[in-house]
Amino acid sequence: MLRIPLIASLLLMGGPWFGAVMLFAAEVDSPTTDETVIVFDQVHVLPMDSERILPNQRVLVQGDRIIALAPADELAIPDGAMRIAGEGRYLLPGLAEMHGHVPPTVDFSGMPARYLDDVLLLYLAGGVTTVRGMLGHEHQLRLKDDIATGKRLGPTLYLAGPSFNQHTVTSPEQARERVRQHKAEGWDLLKIHPGLSLEQYQAIADEAKKQGIDFAGHVPEAVGIEQAIKLGSRTIDHLDGFMAALGGFDTPLTVQDMAELVALTKAHQVAVVPTQALWETIIGAANREQLENFDELKYMPARVLAGWQRYLDSASGAYYTGETAAIHAENRQRLLSALYQAGVTILMGTDAPQLYSVPGLSLRRELPLMAAAGMSHYDILRSGTVLVGEYFADLDTFGQVKKGHRADLLLVDGNPLDDLSVLYQPAGVMVRGQWLSRVDLDAKLAEIEAARVTENTER
Ligand SMILES: [Zn+2]
């Protein structure tokens, strides 16, 4: 039985979603024209090029780019510009979900027709302006284009293609052919799932290098974390491959136990996407009452929530560790801490929408765990901004508040270097130059919540 696809199809999405139908682009309400200049006035800017704050700045945006940044008294506001009051507020780059999922179509397996657009909006409401989509399916490349060209509202998507696993890969040669096919189709990443042999994995790695495309995701058991790192997996997601190699499921690990693997990760410049909050849930270390009282659950369809509850009810699964889950969770936090201390690149990600990780809003569950592992607030912000920009540097320029960068911005009411929680209720979010004020976001969130209530009463 396929492990992750099973979770993905039955638990996360609420049912199998193979009957893909055509996408219909939703109307985006009155975007500003390409010529309109938008000015963030009198804002304190976190440029994210170093740990500093530039006080009382003016930031000018036109089209999808930041076109100027300077002290407010040194930069005139162009005629006809739209001014956004920034007094006392802080402006930073939009954040990223580096292990995210996007529903396949507007209509699959009994999900509400509006679910896809709701997910895209939830990401934005959570301050997420870039998503590395970790499992591609038919029509998703068109969705990416529709968002990029403004036909549909959502975060910028970079997409992994359909899964490489024991069902889709039959031989090393066929695996190579599939790599070439994914590259030609325009996917940004090859998604690896459990079940591949070492020989198949080696073929994928070698062909990926030749074709200039990254591969990442899970670490197949027959491959192991060491080979995955040495063969150049661009990221290691979930840290479970580390735990498997170190025997961290039931025995406390020391820093010395981890040192060799941590050094190897650093030496090969492999980045990690820890997804700590999700894994606490998956392994059985999370507090069920807390999970079920997350306020953001009100935005998810009943069908999805029912799947999440079924997982908790079953108290089983490939990654579930039951009675030793607390030790396992503590080991994961120690590992994140060790990777961080060693200077390994850590990228922000929560695997939304997975068990109790609501798109965008799941960052408020993940960031406190990153802080608890000893990451500074600045480095946590880096993991979702400048390091993401570096990761996608071949594709676009973003991740800093800087002239020429894509205008993905978060306006918040306090200094996130002092208090990360200011990120969770932004005063507004800009995505590729399109501004969504708090009023806009609240209206859309209220609409999603109301839709969920209506769906439930109609059931
Ligand atoms: Zn995932």
pLDDT of residue 34: 67
Residue 390 belongs to a domain: yes
Expressed in angstroms and rounded, the spacing between residue 362 Cα and the centre of ligand 1 is: 14
pLDDT of residue 378: 98
Share of the chain above pLDDT 70, in %: 91
Expressed in angstroms and rounded, the spacing between residue 111 Cα and the centre of ligand 1 is: 19
Q: CB under 8 Å, gap of 24 or more: what pairs does 421-428 form?
A: 421/364, 422/90, 423/95, 423/127, 423/363, 423/364, 423/367, 424/126, 424/127, 424/361, 424/363, 424/364, 426/127, 427/89, 428/84
C-alpha distances in Å from residue 190, one per residue of 14, 32, 205, 209, 232: 24, 35, 10, 11, 12
Which secondary-structure segment (H or E) carries 234? none
pTM for this structure?
0.92
Expressed in angstroms and rounded, the spacing between residue 194 Cα and the centre of ligand 1 is: 12
User: How far, in Å, CA of 139 to CA of 104, rounded?
Assistant: 7
Give the tens place of pLDDT for each residue, 59-111: 999 999 999 999 999 999 999 999 999 999 999 999 999 999 998 765 566 78
Expressed in angstroms and rounded, the spacing between residue 102 Cα and the centre of ligand 1 is: 10
The segments of the chain whose pLDDT lies below 70 read 1-34, 105-109, 459
Expressed in angstroms and rounded, the spacing between residue 37 Cα and the centre of ligand 1 is: 38
pLDDT of residue 24: 35
pLDDT of residue 59: 98
pLDDT of residue 27: 36
Expressed in angstroms and rounded, the spacing between residue 159 Cα and the centre of ligand 1 is: 12
Whichever domain contains 152, its CATH number is: 3.20.20.140
User: How far, in Å, CA of 372 to CA of 328, rounded?
Assistant: 16
Expressed in angstroms and rounded, the spacing between residue 103 Cα and the centre of ligand 1 is: 12
Expressed in angstroms and rounded, the spacing between residue 400 Cα and the centre of ligand 1 is: 26
Answer whether the bond into residue 162 is a cis peptide, omega within 30°: no
Strand partners, 69: 59
Expressed in angstroms and rounded, the spacing between residue 76 Cα and the centre of ligand 1 is: 46
Expressed in angstroms and rounded, the spacing between residue 237 Cα and the centre of ligand 1 is: 9
Expressed in angstroms and rounded, the spacing between residue 78 Cα and the centre of ligand 1 is: 44
Expressed in angstroms and rounded, the spacing between residue 246 Cα and the centre of ligand 1 is: 22
DSSP state at residue 360: T
Residue 69 belongs to a domain: no
Residue 388 belongs to a domain: yes
Residue 35 belongs to a domain: no
pLDDT of residue 19: 29
Expressed in angstroms and rounded, the spacing between residue 299 Cα and the centre of ligand 1 is: 20
Q: Which domain holds residue 118?
A: 3-30+95-400
Expressed in angstroms and rounded, the spacing between residue 121 Cα and the centre of ligand 1 is: 19
Domain count along the chain:
1
Residue 455 belongs to a domain: no
Expressed in angstroms and rounded, the spacing between residue 157 Cα and the centre of ligand 1 is: 15
